[in-house]
Structure 1
Amino acid sequence: MRRAAQDQWEQAGPGVRAMLNAYAAGINAYLRGHLRARPPEFLLLGLQPEAWSPVDSLAWSTMMAWDLGGNWSTELLRMRLALTMPVARIQQLLPPYPGEKPLATADYAALYRRLELGDGQPPQRADGADANGLPWQIESGVEGVGSNNWAVAGTRSVTGSPLLANDPHLKLSAPTLWYVARLEAPGLKVAGASIPGLPLIVLGQNERVAWGYTNTAPDVQDLYIERIDTGDPERYETPDGWAHFENVPETIRVKGAADVSFIARRTRHGPVLSDALPALHGVTGAGGPVPRYALALRWTALELDASDTLAAGLAFNLAGSVDEFLSASAQYMAPMQNMVVADAQHIGFVSAGRVPLRRPDNDLRGLVPAPGWDARYDWAGWLAPTATPRDRDPARGWIASANQRIHGPQYPHFISSEWAPPYRQQRIERLLAARPLHSLDSLASIQADLLSTATQRLLPFLRQAHSVHPLAPAAQHALEGFEGTMAAERAAPLIFMAWVRQLTWGLFADDLGEALFMEQMARRSFREALEGVLDRNDTSWCDDLGSPAVETCAEQVDAAFTRALDELQTAQGDDVSQWRWGQAHQARLEHRPFSSVPWLARWFELRSPVGGDAFTVNASRVSLRPDAGSGELYLGDHGAGLRALYDLGARKRSRFIHSSGQSGIVFSADYRNLNERWSRVEYLPLWGDGRPGRILELEPR
């Protein structure tokens, strides 16, 4: 990524260069004047920060694109499953979006057999550590990395002017990713959420427009199986013959130990990822005496002109109207985002970002790793920026997105198969339609909504569950009247989630193998697969492969209920009436690295009991795998770390809140002072209340 950022810097235009140079100069001026005033993290680790450079900002922008634009790990999962499982079964485990057909038309399991990939053993975990002790954690592809945004036209607003709401869902951290700021200069007055390391307001409002993002989840990454020349392992096959790997020496400096040096290889598609994932050596043959294959990644954000994203960001900060904003979005490259924008008269939507075109004869469609020597699977150019989905002033009076499919069945281009289930978007639209006129208060109530409509397909099965457990009658009583509101103070959401977890384990762990299942439970819920199995009464999944009997789905439902009650009795006691979802489901704002050090975690990490799940508008992803350090279940590790409401008729009414505080210094009162307000879904004025707090005057020297 550093090399990609350096390439972007060399291609950057004068406006981006001037902006990044000025930003770096300001950071470095502070560092020179405060060499001894280092944050506690630097003091405890004995580190001195290096000078900031414009390339660092571009690298950080690319890292954000990695966090939001990664589907390569799902491609990799399908390939690993296909080594031991037929395609039809994989499609049941990872089903297509509701109403869509499976994307790939080729039998990729048969393809991998012909290529003699794998060793016939169940897939192993792809995380862990390599021989140097370096952890290789696959963090892309985590469910729950989404967002909500919507805009209400003036005709649907009590003020007569448009309103806009946005709450991005990312991994929760302490301090939070977001830093709320106001920037003023000649011709510029903008307030909103910035990201330290980037010199712009990323989400916010200027004097004329407001805007917010949700993640499009586009398919902008493809893995390629590169066939290695067994006679010369420095070469790999292309459609035009053999080519040499590009070998790039890399060194990681390790404090208190020797440097770690290695060769990072690249092909015409991009970096070779399989070199960094030892668990894949059994798939590619890299661990044998003669390597057969390598896996390389092509990704839009590694293209040279991705720095245009920052040029677009500057144009967004300066935009004077919805039309100016939509026009500027054509420059935006990565990560692809669903952008909702409003001015005093109009509302608009555009899905902005670079999307690769795939050939009509590409029968894998980017769903799984493809043979890199077959030109059918190469990208065929880029979708024109004007061809991405967009909308302006719809007749119904609102626009909303929540990571769902953003186009209808007649849309002619392929963008993604990785859409989030439409539960949040459908709930938002239902609440928007329920009132003729909206205010900021009604938009705030939508952001706070805790009804998980995703529960409603599974609840009938839970209500029919039988168990001889002594707490079963009390648990079923607690479920009476539960319609899916995931309130922190209730027992029913806890019982439901514990049953879902146990049932998911009972149905899928034996088929995937416990190692792979545990790895995947850290990033996905398999909720759609679970719903499909129960709806079909599919005994092929419900049968426990580890027992001689043939279990039915009803038996698995009952057994999961009993195991859930055992689990909750151990965790929260014998009195079901005292069980609380929020006691288990705490929003955990992880500090890196000190959350891994128990005696430091209690100072640096922030926690608060919250409601919700991954499918509520007030989203809080539920981790179904025990925490690696504490063993806790159901922690909320992703959620709406920022919430914002914008009034386009009166900026002073616009509001925000984020999850920690404005300071990154743990001993500051501002390190955690917003956390309690955030957990209660309360807000602060974005533009201030007109009264000065502290004034800092800067005089040039």
Structure 2
Amino acid sequence: MTSTRPARSRRRLALATLVSLAASVGSATSYAVPSRGPEAPAKVTITRNAYGIPHVYAQTTYDLFRGYGYAVAQDRLFQMEMSRRSTQGTVAEVLGPQYLAFDKDTRAGADPASIKAQLAALSKEDRDVFDGYAAGMNEWLATIATDTTHLMPKQFLDYGFAPSTWTGYDVAMVWIGTMANRYSDSTAEVANLKVLQQLTAAYGPDRGRTLFDQLVWPEDPLAPTTVPATGAVGTPIGTGRGQLRPITPGLDDAADRAMARSGGGAWPQSAPTASNIWITGKDKSADAKSVLINGPQFQWFNPSYVYGIGLHGAGYDFAGNTPFAYPAVIFGTNAQISWGATAGPMNVVDMYQERLDPANPRRYVHNGAYRDMTVRTETIHVRGAADVSYDVLGTVHGPVTSVDTAQGVAYSKKRSWAGAEVSSLLAWVKLSKARDFNEFRDLAGKFAISINWYYADKQGNIGYISPGRLPIRPANQDVRLPALGDGTMEWTGLNSPTANPLSYNPAQGYLANWNNQAAPGFNNDYGNWSVVDRVDQITTALASRRQFTAQQLWDLNQQFSYADLNLRYLAPTLATSVAGLPATDPARRDVELVTSWSGQTRDTDGDGFYEGPQPAIMRAWLPLLFQAVLADDLPPEVFAAYAGAGYARPVEQTSVRPAPGTKLVYNALLGARAGVPQKVDFFNGAAPASVLLSTYQQALAQLREQRGADMSGWTVPVARINYSAKNFLGIPQAGADETIVGPQYANRGTENNMAVLGQGQARLCLAAPPGQSGFIAPDGTRSPHYADQLELYASFSCRSEELTMAQVRAAAVSTTSLF
């Protein structure tokens, strides 16, 4: 039973109760399990396996998600508490004034009234997803209150505050703040404007714009796409030149800050894009009808970014895992179909430059008249300090992200998916019920945000859709730059979902993605998609043979994870530079060190160093190459974005991509054959092969001087994976001592999963480190499932997940009943 008090009263009660009961702690044993007399049949049964993965059984949607929320609260209560606070801007309330600026940014980008209105408009069945989940969380909170000595997560005691009760709104906001706002809210338009201004200031408007087009191209027709080139083609983006005002150097825009916090890198790779997937259908799969392998690269965290779950009842019958224990399980299978996801590439966000009234900076020009900005006053409670009130501003386009006072403008963000966050989440929740591609496609059509969806089924059909509401933009809008906010660059509507990229059973027999372009013509302002793309690692491997077994497809993960992502684009030209030399010539032998190298950057003997001198050579060579080819053609502040080799740092948390400089150099190597017109010759008339050779030889000379002539000393220590105790927004989600520096870095998924269907089988195998549970008892005792998937993951193994009731029962280690 749960209380019927109003939500605010329940929250105050829970806080008061838990704070008082947490005053004394003792030794930990195990979770308390609710009990009830035999006269009351259980409404929810939660069965856990040897890895602590819960399978929830219930007859109604409310009870099914109640059981889900209950299990999540047992395993991840502190992580979820901080996720909720991170996405609603209430971190300073419990951690103090150092998080005040973060909370302000978070609230400025949210629209609580809209989300609450969307929830209120739901049917009871849909609302039960959120309310049931929240009720389950609160039910475990009530259990904690009866035994804080053993059940209160230690992190609450260490940070000195108590968990609070949950509502359906909280459940929705975790998804909105960590998925929609992280992966469907990217824009580089303001950053691009800064770069264009730097280029034109250095070289004048004509050459500056020419260079800009060569750095931030509208479309590269040679870029690999997930939809084969024979598939759908989007509308080319406009390249109009609106009369934008200059941007003040150093302007700090909230949209840029949000991308940086969300895992984006420095411009031109500022958007948080990471994840890979490869799927084979009936003609490409040797021992199944379909195989789907997904590696979502959310970065690495402790507790794990994803949560394993099985839901059975009320029309659901599946298993999988999902970030932040969302109600929508985005990686999984129901034995009929399997599904996965990678970061969204659709252009669903625009920035607008709003011209302000000189007499009142809270008014802006729109359709020939001044309009008042919307104003919402927010009050932030700050631990150890006075409350802080401030105003959140908005225009007809959306929230104001920055004000450039010197130029008399503001920047605002317009999202095509605003107002459809909850319906998008529910479409994803219901995806697990789909039984065929038609149902899958119908649900994708209801999904307004941009995330790539993938499909495979037991008959051997495979498919891909990149959903998201696509605006119909005016022809005079260059989507790489902010639009004019005066009414001359307004969207004229939204495209039908049928216009989105789609591929079903492509002739090649497989689908692959590593955050590359979705389909020809579907570009955006931040993708910078190029003929240089890491997805080439996947597609080259899949095209190399007629069929693969499921195990062979799984083993490819190691090959992709350790691949040097720059080598394939530079080695052929470097090889031509010495092709005429005798095989015994020292210069040729030096070059063949890398041109004959597999590109596999591994530590096979476990000595803590990558094998061979090649990793050291590549890390020394690329910066010299970029300096020689690019530095004289770009302003220093722009060249800095292309100077680095881009390899993993000693302790790494992010996914790596080909160096931005490699994209420019490779296009320059292609010359007239490049998909991006090369109007500025970065080689300045020199023979490209000779430039590559001379810089390569400089790198070798540098290494000989620094490390000696014996190449066995040219070693590079292996990078290590960092499992951060802070979430991707930089907010603590575990104790300060819970960061884990893990195994050798591999450019792979935060978790990896494989679904194998057909030919009489339905299998799901996963590895999601560190473990299922983040629970630490008051005395410091950790859950047995705190890190029990770490070695599984490091060895590129996986654990089998149960799909049928018989399998769940056979694997059961514990069972909990809720009444």
TM-score (norm 2): 0.68
Counterpart of 1:168? 296
Contact 2:306 2:325 in 1 (8 A): no
Counterpart of 1:47? 161
Q: 1:575 to 1:42 in 2, by over 3 A?
A: farther
Segments of 5+ residues of structure 1 without an aligned counterpart are 276-283, 466-471, 544-549, 612-619, 621-638
Partners of 1:43 and 1:554 in 2: CA distance: 64
Name whichever of 485-494 and 258-267 sits farther off.
485-494
Equivalent position SS for 2:400? coil
Name whichever of 198-207 and 37-46 sits farther off.
37-46
Matches within 5 A, 1:210-609: 210-275=338-403, 284=404, 286=405, 288=406, 292-301=408-417, 303-359=418-474, 361-364=475-478, 366-375=479-488, 377-408=489-520, 418=527, 420-421=529-530, 423-450=533-560, 451-452=563-564, 454-459=566-571, 478-479=593-594, 481-488=596-603, 489-490=610-611, 491-501=613-623, 503-504=625-626, 511-514=634-637, 517=640, 525-526=659-660, 527-533=662-668, 576-577=711-712, 579=714, 583-592=717-726, 603-609=738-744
Q: 1:642 to 1:97 in 2, by over 3 A?
A: farther
Partners of 1:99 and 1:20 in 2: CA distance: 44
Contact 2:221 2:520 in 1 (8 A): no
Q: CA deviation at 1:642?
A: 1.8
Q: 1:5 to 1:565 in 2, by over 3 A?
A: farther
**In the alignment, does 2:116 pair up with 1:6?**
yes
Equivalent position SS for 1:447? helix
Q: 1:481 to 1:143 in 2, by over 3 A?
A: farther
Equivalent position SS for 2:600? coil
Residue from 172, 189, 194 that aligns with 1:75:
189
Partners of 1:485 and 1:699 in 2: CA distance: 51
Residue from 30, 35, 43 that aligns with 2:140:
30
Equivalent position SS for 2:357? coil
Deviations 1:505-535 (A, max 9, x none): 6766784545994799799842312433566
Counterpart AA for 1:26: G
Name whichever of 442-451 and 381-390 sits farther off.
442-451
Partners of 1:679 and 1:569 in 2: CA distance: 36
Equivalent position SS for 1:349? strand
Q: 1:447 to 1:97 in 2, by over 3 A?
A: farther
Deviations 1:600-639 (A, max 9, x none): 766423322134xxxxxxxx2xxxxxxxxxxxxxxxxxx4
Counterpart of 1:695? 814
Q: CA deviation at 1:297?
A: 0.4
Counterpart of 1:643? 752
Deviations 1:530-569 (A, max 9, x none): 43356669997679xxxxxx9x997798568757986999
Partners of 1:43 and 1:152 in 2: CA distance: 49
Partners of 1:574 and 1:46 in 2: CA distance: 57
Counterpart AA for 1:404: N
Equivalent position SS for 1:234? strand
Structure with bigger gyration radius: 2
Partners of 2:775 and 2:389 in 1: CA distance: 34
Contact 1:150 1:399 in 2 (8 A): yes
Residue from 110, 118, 138 that aligns with 2:247:
118
Partners of 2:709 and 2:253 in 1: CA distance: 39
Contact 1:147 1:168 in 2 (8 A): yes
Segments of 5+ residues of structure 2 without an aligned counterpart are 1-109, 200-207, 224-235, 579-586, 604-609, 647-655, 672-677, 777-781
Contact 2:630 2:639 in 1 (8 A): no
Contact 1:92 1:532 in 2 (8 A): no
Partners of 1:507 and 1:256 in 2: CA distance: 54
Counterpart of 2:25? none
Partners of 2:496 and 2:256 in 1: CA distance: 41
CA RMSD of aligned residues (A): 4.1
Counterpart of 1:205? 333
Structure with larger RCO (C-alpha < 8 A, sep 6+): 2
Name whichever of 61-70 and 512-521 sits farther off.
512-521
Equivalent position SS for 2:435? coil
Q: CA deviation at 1:374?
A: 3.4
Partners of 1:52 and 1:405 in 2: CA distance: 39
**In the alignment, does 2:198 pair up with 1:84?**
yes
Counterpart AA for 1:528: K
Equivalent position SS for 1:324? helix
Equivalent position SS for 2:817? coil
Residue from 195, 211, 216 that aligns with 2:323:
195
Counterpart of 1:469? none
Contact 2:273 2:515 in 1 (8 A): no
Contact 2:399 2:414 in 1 (8 A): yes
Partners of 2:141 and 2:697 in 1: CA distance: 57
Counterpart of 2:787? 672
Q: CA deviation at 1:177?
A: 1.2
Q: CA deviation at 1:105?
A: 2.4
Counterpart of 1:632? none
Q: CA deviation at 1:274?
A: 0.8
Partners of 1:562 and 1:671 in 2: CA distance: 48
Deviations 1:152-171 (A, max 9, x none): 22233333522222222222
Contact 1:147 1:214 in 2 (8 A): yes
Q: 1:347 to 1:419 in 2, by over 3 A?
A: farther
Partners of 1:28 and 1:397 in 2: CA distance: 47
Partners of 1:379 and 1:386 in 2: CA distance: 18
Counterpart of 2:216? 94
Counterpart of 1:627? none
Deviations 1:60-103 (A, max 9, x none): 2222122212331x212210012221221122223444327994
Partners of 2:419 and 2:692 in 1: CA distance: 52
Contact 1:149 1:401 in 2 (8 A): yes
Equivalent position SS for 1:236? strand
Partners of 2:690 and 2:271 in 1: CA distance: 28
Q: CA deviation at 1:580?
A: 5.0
Equivalent position SS for 2:463? strand
Equivalent position SS for 1:199? coil
Partners of 2:366 and 2:483 in 1: CA distance: 12
Name whichever of 523-532 and 206-215 sits farther off.
523-532
Partners of 1:596 and 1:320 in 2: CA distance: 39
Partners of 1:503 and 1:644 in 2: CA distance: 38
Equivalent position SS for 1:449? helix
Contact 2:290 2:459 in 1 (8 A): yes
Q: CA deviation at 1:249?
A: 1.4
Q: 1:233 to 1:644 in 2, by over 3 A?
A: same
Equivalent position SS for 1:331? coil
TM-score (norm 1): 0.78
Contact 2:574 2:595 in 1 (8 A): no
Contact 1:11 1:305 in 2 (8 A): no
| Aligned-residue identity in percent | 21
